[in-house]
Amino acid sequence: MTSVPINVPGGAERCLVMGVVNVTPDSFSDGGLWFDEAAAISHGLELVGEGADIVDVGGESTRPGAARVSLEEELARVVPVISALAAEGVTVSVDTMRAEVARAAVEAGARLVNDVSGGLADPEMPRVVAATGVPYVVMHWRGHSHDMETRAVYTDVVTEVREELSKRVNLVLAEGVAEEQIVLDPGLGFAKTAEHNWALLAAIPQLAELGYPLLIGASRKRFLGRLLAAPDGTPRPFSRSDDATLAVTALAAHAGAWCVRVHEVGPNADAVRVAAAWKRAGAGT
Ligand code: PMM
């Protein structure tokens, strides 16, 4: 596995925790909560206090059906928040599909680019990321949110996601991104049904065989609410799926994930430490 240039403070060998700050009015679970600049900054700092290794700042909702925001609006939402958090010493990532936003974010102090489109939405993105040299999350993606559910069609989701990620890797490498910059993400919920998400989670070891660190974003996603539906079939609301997120974190960390992207940081920061202790003990036997 390559080693991306973001390490755990103290050098401990464990899965990292990325806390989410959505500076949006309409994200799935926290839309509107951190839309105000000052609220977003203080939430980012709070997440670091709870144990986040990275704070992921995004200005565009990717919830199923979401419409896009303009470049100017996205820049205005994320850049001041990133500058303020970076100035406080926080390791910030920018959640964007736009090369121009990625460039401005890195100039403002972001140390990782998280592109849910894996370079597909903006063909300039790989070149811009290559020039910055920061780690680059290449997520599996099949198209924008407004109609992504129609693309959740697979014969064998694990094989197809692996192949499509490999193609993206080859493309971004050809555009100058270094192997050490790449992190892969199966893109849970992005053109995936609940069954697809579970199959991909169960396949973390096979996905890791691609040779890159893996980021897993299961937090509060709808497949968890469906799993925990009431007897009448009503899905559990996202506000009560944090315990299920935590279970995914522990299992994903144990299965070898490099990082988990979560909304509620504290318990997940504990879970990755439990998984690391479990692994260390197992390695010694
Ligand atoms: N999911 C969302 C947003 N950004 N980034 C990565 N790398 N992986 C994900 O799974 C992911 C992401 C959507 O979640 P939210 O709107 O609830 O934050």
Give the Å distance between the CA of 90 and the centre of ligand 1. 20
Q: What is the pLDDT of residues 94-110, one digit of tens each?
A: 999 999 999 999 999 99
For residue 67, give the amino acid letter: A
Instruction: Tell me if residue 220 is catalytic.
Output: no
Give the Å distance between the CA of 284 and the centre of ligand 1. 35
| Residue 146: pLDDT band with limits 50, 70, 90 | confident
Of the listed ranges 10-24, 173-187, 188-202, the least confidently predicted one is 10-24
pTM, 2 dp: 0.95
Single out the catalytic residue among 127, 221, 226, 240: 221
The percent of residues above 90 in pLDDT, for the chain, comes to 82
Q: What is the pLDDT of residues 33-55, one digit of tens each?
A: 777 899 999 999 999 999 999 99
Domains in the chain (CATH in brackets) are 16-282 (3.20.20.20)
Instruction: Tell me if residue 261 is catalytic.
Output: yes
Higher pLDDT, 28 or 167: 167
Measured CA to CA, the distance from residue 114 to residue 78 in angstroms comes to 13
The percent of residues above 70 in pLDDT, for the chain, comes to 95
Measured CA to CA, the distance from residue 221 to residue 38 in angstroms comes to 26
Contacts of 29 (CB under 8 A, 6+ apart): 219, 220, 238, 239, 263
Question: Residue 2: what pLDDT?
Answer: 60
Measured CA to CA, the distance from residue 192 to residue 141 in angstroms comes to 9
Residue in 133, 126, 139 with CA at minimum distance from that of residue 107: 133
Higher pLDDT, 100 or 145: 100
pLDDT(27) > 90: no
Give the Å distance between the CA of 111 and the centre of ligand 1. 17
Ligand 1 contacts (CB < 6 A) are: 20, 22, 27-29, 61-63, 95, 114, 116, 137, 139, 185, 187-188, 215, 217, 220, 261
Question: Residue 149: what pLDDT?
Answer: 79
pLDDT(160) > 80: yes
